Amino acid sequence: MKKLLIEDKEFNLKDIKKLYPAVLVKTGYRDETTEMSLEWIELEAKGKVEITGYGLFILIDKNKKYSFIYKSRDELDMAISLVAKQL
């Protein structure tokens, strides 16, 4: 069975329903954040939202989600590159 390793967590590829990168932005309510697409941030939101981090997210089912959070876009890009090499 093919496996995917991100940081120290191993996943069976067949169990992954969705794997995606996103940007975490402040919603304006307390310390709450939400995920936004990288494309939207680059094209529509320049300077309009406060970015708090970047993430790589894995959805196993609707109740099980893993989040790998990075401080910079470069760190996220490196993580994506490592994932791509495994696929």
Decide: 22 and 35 in contact? Cβ < 8 Å: yes
CB-facing half-sphere around the CA of 50: CA atoms within 13 A: 9
| DSSP E strands, the chain | 3-6, 9-12, 18-26, 33-36, 51-61, 64-70
If phi > 0 it is left, if psi is from -120 to 50 it is alpha, else beta; for residue 48 that is alpha
pLDDT at 24 > cutoff 90: yes
pTM of the model: 0.86
53-66 pLDDT tens trace: 999 999 998 889 99
Res. 45 pLDDT band, cuts 50 70 90: confident
Res. 47 pLDDT band, cuts 50 70 90: confident
pLDDT at 22 > cutoff 90: yes
pLDDT at 68 > cutoff 90: yes
Both tokens of residue 59? 């959805």
